[in-house]
Amino acid sequence: MTRPDHRTGSLRATRRIRPGRRELLLGSGLLAAGALSACASEVEPPAAPVTGPELEAPTPVQTEEQLSTAISEIHEAVAAADEKRSAKPLDPRVVGSAQEFRSKLYKLIKKSKGFAKDLERPGASMVMPLTSVDAEFPRTAIALVEDAGDSGVPFFMALRQESAKDPYTTWGWAQQAVGVEMPDVANALVGSQQVGPDADDLLMTPMAALKLYAKVLSDGDEADPDDKLADDPFKVQTHKNIAQERKELNTGVDYDEAATIKEVWTVREEDFVGLRTDEGGALVMSTITSKRTVRIKERGTMRYEEENPYTKAAGTREFNENFIRTFGTHVAVHIPPKGAKGKIQPVGATQTVLGVTGE
């Protein structure tokens, strides 16, 4: 199943007694935590990607033992940090945006325990690795890791090792999409070629594909006139959520008369890992941040009838100018090779709420 999106609420427009003043009165439903998750009791966990054949002699790839140790230690670090609601235990295994997102989420949880549902994390066991053949450092890998919870849906985890003396670290993980076809990946003993953000032997360069995904999340399918991007559960649910909020904001009033809503998505280019898939395409991971803004028109007010996690974080139930929610999402995307008939296919996403402001 998909988790209810509490970013939306039941809105209905009413008029204040004061002439010319418009009030949007929101229902008692909670606001959203944005990520998608699957429930093992209701959906069958997706199949892991298929691996290619083994070679007679293995190439210089990371061993499964190395990666298994790293994943176990990452799990322990995140579990300890989540228990203490402190980012300190994340060092040195969890870095970059993953550490940043956790730190901001812990601050929100202190304001409202309702945000604790966003503390999803990978488990301690690896389902399968996608490793680099490169002997030089830094080395990268993407591992499919079991869920620490009960959904049965694994996570793609980005891994990086700066030097032979450094431990593997992760800057993010994206839960595998349910109902989406996965690419075949190279056998762990064979390894995969690293793919850069500007690789031009694919249907689209990885960075261009990620920016297209962000653009479509922001502006809808019309931002992809050539239809290069396939649907995925995260995109579909995101568009449904924003459409529902817009509909409720306009209930009983002329379109956009009382308030407008817009979410803008941006790729964080420094977060990137890409590895070749078995058919010559690439599996890439990155981070996309978003800012969802409800802008209240002049002489208008938006008010929640009851307290909820987001109003607690904002410090108010009444907004006269704007209501802003920010999110960070780690994504995994498969890009076919150049000349292939397939589409760019997002295959995983995990979203975290980062901040709430309003006035």
SS3 letters for the chain? CCCCCCCCCCEEEEECCCCCCEEEEECCCCCCCCCCCCCCCCCCCCCCCCECCCCCCCCCCCCHHHHHHHHHHHHHHHHHHHHHCCCHHHCCCECHHHHHHHHHHHHHHHHCHHHHHHCCCEEEEEEEEEEECCCCCCEEEEEEEEECCCCCCCEEEEEEECCCCCCCEEEEEEEECCCCCCCCECCCCCCECECCCCCCCECCCHHHHHHHHHHHHHHCHHHCCCCCECCCHHHHHHHHHHHHHHHHHCCCCCCCCCEEEEEEEEEEEEEEEEEEECCCCEEEEEEEEEEEEEEECCCEEEEECCCCHHHHHHCCCEECCEEEEEEEEEEEEEECECCCCCCEEEEEEEEEEEEEEEC
Residue 306, pLDDT score: 86
Residue 2 belongs to a domain: no
- Average pLDDT on 78-93 reads 97
Residue 270 belongs to a domain: yes
Residue 6 belongs to a domain: no
Residue 33 has pLDDT above 50, yes or no: no
Which of 10-14, 81-85, 159-163, 221-225 bottoms out in mean pLDDT, i.e. has the lowest? 10-14
Residue 5 belongs to a domain: no
Residue 4 belongs to a domain: no
Residue 101 belongs to a domain: yes
Residue 258, pLDDT score: 78
Range of 282's domain?
A: 11-358
Q: What is the mean pLDDT of the chain?
A: 84
How many domains does the chain fold into? 1
Residue 256, pLDDT score: 64
Residue 290 belongs to a domain: yes
More confident residue, 31 or 126: 126
